[in-house]
């Protein structure tokens, strides 16, 4: 450890980007201090990925039990939402303790408080017990994450107006909800609550749900949402929210005509994106300024314009995904330790935990056509997968996009367990494998992973269980 400073590496923020950076730096024998002002695990563990996926799993159990009479199962399902939330809180609590143990076992010093910079090598930590301490550091890693965007007129402190964190913590299930924004959070949570019997009305500014994903991947999700009774209203901007006896009245404006409509419900969930958190740190004192989108700009190793300061995770830019942040944390720590950074182009998968799930990595066919001479695709429909048939989930398909020499450039999946299946395609993209190599590998039967093998074979007109084009 440097004699000149209290700690070699100061990490600000204990989310999946920050705690991973801290542990990796400590594994490389650096003295590390991690400052967290709320709960270890950040948004992801406490109010994001983990609690939402826990409740989605629970809602799926209830929904399947209600709807699978075809399999010979009929059940009266009672949902005790409080118990469901308690179970979810236990999952979160367990993981909080694990993160703390892992940090301590790796000799990361944990400090509970808010870190504000005083100068380029000094931070003041205001602790929750009202005491504060000063720490000097050689390197800093900013990992302060993001928070939900607040729409004017839909301030989160208002009664009946909720962000995702509150929705994952409802005391009781509302009868009805207006959901503003049909992106990741809007659709994952709309489907979750619809499966628990909540009447959902979605309002989205653009002309489809999940607009960031290709439309043929979204189509099965859109049909499933209609089947759940979710009402979707596209091309409408949320404009105003009034409190009513019942709860709220949300007025929208048609994006083209300006025509106004109103939707009444017990409450409104606003999920219109997230914005980076930088204002907690007094960044100007270390000579850093966020860019026009509010992110802290970095190079590919996470280094900011100030040489000894790194930024990782949501605060450093898109994609705002937990696994992307964790990898950025590892890379920054490796760079600080002076070790060789991991090689590769870093394919970043994206997954929507909808029903069915959507997962993508690398290029779509249209994106590949912009850079490649010839692009080919191989596809396999889930309804032709023996395993999909045995689970009762047959909507969707796997698609592989490859270059003229067969190297896999990307993949898209919509269907059961897409979130798990995408890792094989991610490996192929990251390591430059070809469809021929994927098709050669023996995949266990009966599994959904055979759909990847078959789409690779389909790319070479050699699929067995679907007709080749």
Residues acting as catalytic residues: 445
Q: Is 320 in the site for ligand FAD (CB under 6 A)?
A: yes
- SS3 letters for the chain? CCCCCCEEEEEECCCCCHHHHHHHHHHCCCCEEEEECCCCCHHHHHHCHHHHHHHHHHHHHHHHHHHCHHHCCCCCCCCCHHHHHHHHHHHHHHHHHHHHHHHHHCCCEEEEEEEEEEECCEEEEEECCCCEEEEEEEEEEECCCEEECCCCCCCCCCCCEECHHHHCCCCCCCCEEEEECCCHHHHHHHHHHHHCCCEEEEEECCCCCCCCCCHHHHHHHHHHHHHCCCEEEECEEEEEEEECCCCEEEEEEECCCCCEEEEEECEEEECCCEEECCCCCCHHHHCCCCCCCCCCCCCCCCECCCCCEEECHHHHCCCCCHHHHHHHHHHHHHHHCCCCCCCCCCCCCEEECCCCEEEEEECCHHHHHHHCCCEEEEEEEHHHCHHHHHHCCCCCEEEEEEECCCEEEEEEEEECCHHHHHHHHHHHHHHCCEHHHHHHCCCCCCCCCHHHHHHHHHHCCCCCCCCCC
| CB closer to ligand FAD, 230 vs 270 | 270
Q: Is 151 in the site for ligand NAD (CB under 6 A)?
A: yes
Cβ distance 349 to 324 under 8 Å?
no
Map the footprint of ligand NAD across residues 217-246, applying CB under 6 A. 237-238
Segment interacting with ligand FAD (CB under 6 A) among 43-51, 77-85, 220-228, 452-460: 43-51
Segment interacting with ligand FAD (CB under 6 A) among 11-19, 131-139, 253-261, 375-383: 11-19
Segment interacting with ligand NAD (CB under 6 A) among 101-109, 266-274, 293-301, 357-365: 266-274
- 7, 33, 144, 385: residue in contact with ligand FAD (rule CB under 6 A): 144
**Partner from ligand FAD, ligand NAD, none binding residue 349, C-beta < 5-8 Å depending on class:** none
Report the nearest approach of ligand NAD to the CB of residue 63 (Å): 19
Q: Is 14 in the site for ligand FAD (CB under 6 A)?
A: yes
Q: Is 32 in the site for ligand FAD (CB under 6 A)?
A: no
| CB closer to ligand NAD, 125 vs 425 | 425
Q: Which residue is nearest to ligand NAD (CB)?
A: 183
Size of the site for ligand NAD (CB under 6 A): 25
Q: What whole-number distance in Å separates Cα of residue 394 and Cα of residue 150?
A: 38
**Partner from ligand FAD, ligand NAD, none binding residue 180, C-beta < 5-8 Å depending on class:** ligand NAD
- 21, 321, 448, 451: residue in contact with ligand NAD (rule CB under 6 A): 321
Return the biggest CA–CA distance within the chain. Answer: 71
Q: Is 141 in the site for ligand FAD (CB under 6 A)?
A: no
**Partner from ligand FAD, ligand NAD, none binding residue 15, C-beta < 5-8 Å depending on class:** ligand FAD
Report the nearest approach of ligand NAD to the CB of residue 441 (Å): 27
Q: Is 352 in the site for ligand NAD (CB under 6 A)?
A: yes
- 197, 211, 235, 290: residue in contact with ligand NAD (rule CB under 6 A): 211
- 320, 336, 361, 413: residue in contact with ligand NAD (rule CB under 6 A): 320
Cβ distance 309 to 142 under 8 Å?
yes
90-52-356 Cα angle (round to 5): 130
Report the nearest approach of ligand NAD to the CB of residue 306 (Å): 26
- Here the tokens at position 337 are 């330790």
**Partner from ligand FAD, ligand NAD, none binding residue 211, C-beta < 5-8 Å depending on class:** ligand NAD
Map the footprint of ligand FAD across residues 71-130, applying CB under 6 A. 114-115
| CB closer to ligand FAD, 168 vs 400 | 168
Q: x/- string (CB under 6 A) for ligand NAD, residues 152-191?
A: ----------------------------xxxxxxx-x---
| CB closer to ligand NAD, 205 vs 407 | 205
Q: What whole-number distance in Å separates Cα of residue 323 and Cα of residue 362?
A: 15
Q: Is 210 in the site for ligand FAD (CB under 6 A)?
A: no
Q: What whole-number distance in Å separates Cα of residue 406 and Cα of residue 462?
A: 14
* 237 contacts: CB under 8 Å, gap ≥ 6: 205, 252, 253, 255
- 31, 42, 154, 238: residue in contact with ligand FAD (rule CB under 6 A): 42
* Residues near ligand NAD (CB under 6 A): 151, 180-186, 188, 203-206, 211, 237-238, 271-274, 320-321, 351-353
* Residues near ligand FAD (CB under 6 A): 12-18, 35-38, 42-44, 48-49, 52, 114-115, 143-146, 164, 185, 277, 280-281, 313-315, 320-323, 325, 353
């Amino acid at each position: 450890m440097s004699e000149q400073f209290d700690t070699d590496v100061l990490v600000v923020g204990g989310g999946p980007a920050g705690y991973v950076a801290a542990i990796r730096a400590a594994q490389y024998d650096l003295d590390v201090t991690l400052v967290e002002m709320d709960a270890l695990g950040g948004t992801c563990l406490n109010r994001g990925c983990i609690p939402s996926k826990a409740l989605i799993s629970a809602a799926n159990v209830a929904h399947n039990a209600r709807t699978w009479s075809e399999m010979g199962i009929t059940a009266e399902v009672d949902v005790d939402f409080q118990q469901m939330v308690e179970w979810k809180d236990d999952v979160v609590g367990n993981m909080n303790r694990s993160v703390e143990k892992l940090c301590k076992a790796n000799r990361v010093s944990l400090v509970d408080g808010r870190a504000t910079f005083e100068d380029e090598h000094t931070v003041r930590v205001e602790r929750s017990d009202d005491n504060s301490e000063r720490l000097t550091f050689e390197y800093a890693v900013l990992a302060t994450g993001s928070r939900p965007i607040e729409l004017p007129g839909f301030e989160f402190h208002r009664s009946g107006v909720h962000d995702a964190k509150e929705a994952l913590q409802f005391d009781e299930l509302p009868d009805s909800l207006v959901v503003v924004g049909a992106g990741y959070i809007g659709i994952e949570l709309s489907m979750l609550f619809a499966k628990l019997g909540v009447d959902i009305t979605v309002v989205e500014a653009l002309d489809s749900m999940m607009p960031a994903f290709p439309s043929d991947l979204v189509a099965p999700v859109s049909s499933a949402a209609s089947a759940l009774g979710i009402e979707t209203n596209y091309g409408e901007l949320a404009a105003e929210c009034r409190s009513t006896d019942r709860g709220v009245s949300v007025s929208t404006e048609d994006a083209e005509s300006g025509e106004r409509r109103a939707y009444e419900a017990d409450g409104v969930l606003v999920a219109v994106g997230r914005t980076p958190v930088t204002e907690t740190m007094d960044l100007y004192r270390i000579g850093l300024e966020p860019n026009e989108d509010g992110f802290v700009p970095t190079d590919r190793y996470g280094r900011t314009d100030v040489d000894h300061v790194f930024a990782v995770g949501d605060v450093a830019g898109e994609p705002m995904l937990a696994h992307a942040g964790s990898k950025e944390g590892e890379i920054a720590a490796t760079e600080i330790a002076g070790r060789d950074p991991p090689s590769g182009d870093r394919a970043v998968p994206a997954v929507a935990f909808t029903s069915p799930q959507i997962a993508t990595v690398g290029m779509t066919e249209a994106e590949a056509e912009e850079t490649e001479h010839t692009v080919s695709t191989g596809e396999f429909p889930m309804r032709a997968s023996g395993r999909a048939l045995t689970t009762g989930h047959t909507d969707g398909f796997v698609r592989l996009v490859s270059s003229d020499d067969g190297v896999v450039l990307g993949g898209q999946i919509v269907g059961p367990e897409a979130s798990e299946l995408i890792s094989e395609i991610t490996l192929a993209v990251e390591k430059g494998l070809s469809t021929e190599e994927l098709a050669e590998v023996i995949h266990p039967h009966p599994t959904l992973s055979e759909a990847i093998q078959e789409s690779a074979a389909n790319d070479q007109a050699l699929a067995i269980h679907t007709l080749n084009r």
